């Protein structure tokens, strides 16, 4: 028998209208989150792999301007990137992509991601997105294409867990834990962001 002690915590309501969800939900893969966070909050974009598991579409908000040849990028602390993953700027995937070689978390206001090579210019407010591998400009591909949004929290300290999955409805973007940009919103065409 498995027992777990929890403290009461309520996430801010973020789903304003549910029109359609996946019956029975889906299983959220924890392998890429293990050791980074203990609990995946609700309202996270996920995409399905070939085995039917849903994976987090990792994103992070850029907090400082980066030149086209820069190999360090400042992002907000609310991200789940790890060393070895490839990233690019923006959900439109028009820039180059490269691998994260280090993440400096010592600053209390932001994290600094160091890349193996430059990925192009970035503005404040742009979104850093997880992609499959290092790529030239316009050749990057999402590691997991955003398909649906999780409806409840997921414990990633134990085996892969189930979550309700929103296909069509209205979501309050301000309370989403990880940022989205217009190109990602276009992929989630049945979700209305307010």
pLDDT for 80-129, tens place per residue? Answer: 999 999 999 999 999 899 999 999 999 999 999 999 999 999 999 999 99
What is the pTM (predicted TM-score) of this model?
0.89
* Euclidean distance between CA atoms 115 and 66, whole angstroms: 12
Q: For 12, which DSSP code?
A: P
pLDDT of 13: 81
Average pLDDT score, the chain? 92
Is residue 130 scored above 70 in pLDDT? Answer: yes
How far is residue 100's CA from residue 118's CA, in Å, rounded to a whole number?
A: 11
Has residue 3 got a pLDDT over 80? no
């Amino acid at each position: 028998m498995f027992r777990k002690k929890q403290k009461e915590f309520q996430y801010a309501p973020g789903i304003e209208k549910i029109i359609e969800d996946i019956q029975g939900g889906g299983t959220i893969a924890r392998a890429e989150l293990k050791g980074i966070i203990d609990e995946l909050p609700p309202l996270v974009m996920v995409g399905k792999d070939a085995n039917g598991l849903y994976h987090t579409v990792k994103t992070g908000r850029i907090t400082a301007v980066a030149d086209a040849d820069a190999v360090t990028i400042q992002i907000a602390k609310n991200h789940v990137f790890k060393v070895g993953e490839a990233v690019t700027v923006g959900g439109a995937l028009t820039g180059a992509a490269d691998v994260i070689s280090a993440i400096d978390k010592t600053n209390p206001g932001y994290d600094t991601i160091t890349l193996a090579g430059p990925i192009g210019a970035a503005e404040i407010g742009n979104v850093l997105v997880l992609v499959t591998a290092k790529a030239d400009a316009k050749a990057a591909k999402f590691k997991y294409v955003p398909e649906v949004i999780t409806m409840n929290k997921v414990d990633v300290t134990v085996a892969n867990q189930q979550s309700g999955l929103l296909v069509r409805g209205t979501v309050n973007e301000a309370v989403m834990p990880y940022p989205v940009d217009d190109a990602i919103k276009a992929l989630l065409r049945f979700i209305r962001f307010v």
